[in-house]
Structure 1
Amino acid sequence: MRWQTTRSCTELGRERLDAVFVHNPEHHRGDRQMLTDVLRDSFAVLEQAAHAGEVTAYGVATWSGFSDGLFTVALLDQLACEAAGSRDHHFRLVQLPVSLVMDLHLTEALNQTGPITQAAELGWEVHASAPLHGGELLSLATAEIADLIHPGAPVAAACLAATASCPGVKRVLLATGQAAHWDDALAVTGRPAIPSAILRTVLDVLTAPV
C-alpha cells in the first residue's frame, strides 16, 4: 500500500493525492476474518499517509463487496476508526457499480436503504462506476426506455442521467476516448436530477416479465 501510494504520487507528479481507493478487496484470497484484517491494515497505512500530508482521503472501490455481504458501510467505518485510533479518520469515499443493469444499489438508494444511503449519511462521497455497464447497456436499453427517463434523449445520455440521479451519488465515473462523449456526459449530468418516481417506473419496466 505504501509503495503504490508513493508510486501514484510520482506518476501523477504530485506531492499529495486527493483520493486513494483500496481496489476490489473482495478479490483477496482468504476467509472473511482475513479480509477484515487486510482492510484494517490497509486503512492504517493510509491513515499514516494522511497524517503525513500525502493523502487527503481514502476509501474502497468494490464491484461486489457490498452485494455479496463481505463488508458493510458500518464495518468499513469501524475498521477506519480502529486504524485511526479514533472517529477522526480519513475514510470518506466509496465506489461501486450503479446502472440500469446492475440496479441493486440504485433500487436500494431509491428506498433509502443500502450502502449508498448509509455512506451518504456519514458524509462520504459515493462514486458510481460502470454507469453504462462497460458499454453493454447501449445495446440492452431501448429508445422507449430512454424516453421514459428523458424524452428525446439518446440511449447513452438517458442511462447516464439515471445513474447520476441516484440519490446519494456524488460522482459518476466514465471512460471514453472521444472528446464529444465527454461533452455529452457533462451536459446530461449537469441537468436536474430525474425524479425518483420516474426511476422506479423505469426499473419496474426493466424487471417486468416479457
Structure 2
Amino acid sequence: MTARLGLGTYRCLDVAKTALMAASRGADWVDTAPNYQQGQAEASLAAVLSACPDLCVSTKVGFVPVGVGRVAVQAGVLSAADAERGHCLAPDYLTWQLARSRLMLGRAPDLVFVHNPEYACPDGEITGRLHNAFLALEEACSQRAVSAYGVTTWHGFGSGHFDVPALVELATEAGGPNHHLSAVQLPVSLVHLAPIGQALAGHGPLADALAAGLEVFASAPLHGGEIPGMVTPHLAELIAPGKTPAEAALAVVASAPGVKRVLLSTEDPEHWTAAAEAVGRPPLSPDVLRKVVDVLGT
C-alpha cells in the first residue's frame, strides 16, 4: 500500500491559502474541523472546494467552536453544561453541527470524524456515547448529509478507551453489516511509534483497521514540526539515505501498515512538494521499520 499526502488544517494560520497551495500541487484531500482557525476553517475552505471540485474534505463533530455554544443552546440542541465543557456527542447536537458544517463548507463533506470521543468522558460512558453518535451518523449517511464517518482520537486507542474491533461492533449495531464507518485517525510519528510497533507484531489499531477494511489517517506526522530537529543524521541514513530528517520521518509514517493518508500541516510550497515525494515513494520494508522501533522504542 502506498499512502498519499493530505492537508491537515489544525495548525494552518491561513486555511484557504494553504489549501489552494496544496491542491495546486496535487493534494486530493483536506482535513478540517469546525473549531480550527478560531472557528473559521470550514468557511475559509468553501471557496477552495468550489474552485477544486475534485478535492475531498473531511471534517469533525464533537467539539463546540468558540462563539457557537450560545447559538446551539438557543437552538435546543446543546445543554448549557455541555457548552461550558466544550464537547458534546449527543445525537441532536451532532446532527445540528453536521448541517452547520455542510453550510459552512458549501457542500456535503466526504467524511466526518467523531472528534476525540474520549474527551472529558466519565468512566463507563464512552460505549453508550459512541453508540448514540454512530446512530446519528448512520441516519445522516442515509439522508446523504455525509458519505461516511470515522473516529479521530489522540489518546483513545493508547489509553484503552476503545479499540478498532469495538468501534466496528458499535457501527454494526447502529447501521447493520453495511454500516458507514470507514476510517480512523490517530497520531503516528517517530514520537508516536507504538502503533507502528504493534502493527509489525500483528495487533493494535493499524493492524485492526487494515483487517476491518478501514482507512487510516495518520495525524501529526512531524509532531508539530518538532521531529526534524530530533532526527540524527545516523537515524536519517538508516531510514532513507540521502534524504532530509523530515523526509525520513514522513517515510516511516507513510510506510506504517494500513496507513492510507498522512495529514501534514505546512504553508510552505517547497516543504509540501518534498513531503509529497517522500510519502509517495515505495514503502520502507518491515525490517527497516523494526530497526527504527528498536532504536527509538515505543
TM-score between the two structures when normalised by the length of structure 2: 0.67
Letter in 2 for 1:192: P
Moved over 6 A (4+): none
Q: Which runs of 5+ in 2 are unaligned?
A: 1-93
Which residue does the alignment assign to 1:45?
136
Q: 1:164 aligns with which of 251, 254, 257?
A: 254
**3-state SS in 2 of match to 1:116:** helix
Q: 2:191 aligns with which of 87, 92, 101?
A: 101
Q: 1:82 aligns with which of 153, 159, 173?
A: 173
- The answer on whether the counterparts of 1:125 and 1:170 sit within 8 Å (CA) in structure 2 is yes
Which residue does the alignment assign to 1:24?
116
Q: 1:130 aligns with which of 202, 214, 220?
A: 220
- The answer on whether the counterparts of 2:188 and 2:196 sit within 8 Å (CA) in structure 1 is yes
Q: 2:156 aligns with which of 48, 56, 65?
A: 65
- The answer on whether the counterparts of 2:221 and 2:249 sit within 8 Å (CA) in structure 1 is yes
Letter in 1 for 2:282: P
Which residue does the alignment assign to 1:121?
211
Number of positions where the alignment pairs a residue of Structure 1 with one of Structure 2: 205
Deviation at residue 108 of structure 1 after TM alignment: 0.7
Which residue does the alignment assign to 1:152?
242
Letter in 2 for 1:125: E
Distance 1:89 1:3 in 2: 21
Distance 2:293 2:162 in 1: 26
**3-state SS in 1 of match to 2:96:** helix
- The answer on whether the counterparts of 2:193 and 2:297 sit within 8 Å (CA) in structure 1 is no
Distance 1:108 1:115 in 2: 8
- The answer on whether the counterparts of 1:28 and 1:35 sit within 8 Å (CA) in structure 2 is no
User: Which has more helix, going by share of residues?
Assistant: 1
Deviation at residue 207 of structure 1 after TM alignment: 3.3
Which residue does the alignment assign to 1:11?
104
- The answer on whether the counterparts of 2:252 and 2:289 sit within 8 Å (CA) in structure 1 is yes
- Cα RMSD of the aligned pairs, angstroms, is 1.3
Distance 1:29 1:163 in 2: 29
Distance 2:272 2:178 in 1: 36
Distance 2:166 2:117 in 1: 14
Distance 2:297 2:178 in 1: 42
> Over residues 50-97 of structure 1, what are the superposed CA-to-partner deviations in whole Å (9 max), with x where a residue is unaligned?
00011111010001111111101111111111212x111000110011
> Over residues 135-161 of structure 1, what are the superposed CA-to-partner deviations in whole Å (9 max), with x where a residue is unaligned?
121221111111111001000000001
TM-score between the two structures when normalised by the length of structure 1: 0.94
**3-state SS in 2 of match to 1:158:** helix
Is residue 35 from structure 1 mapped to residue 126 from structure 2 by the alignment? yes
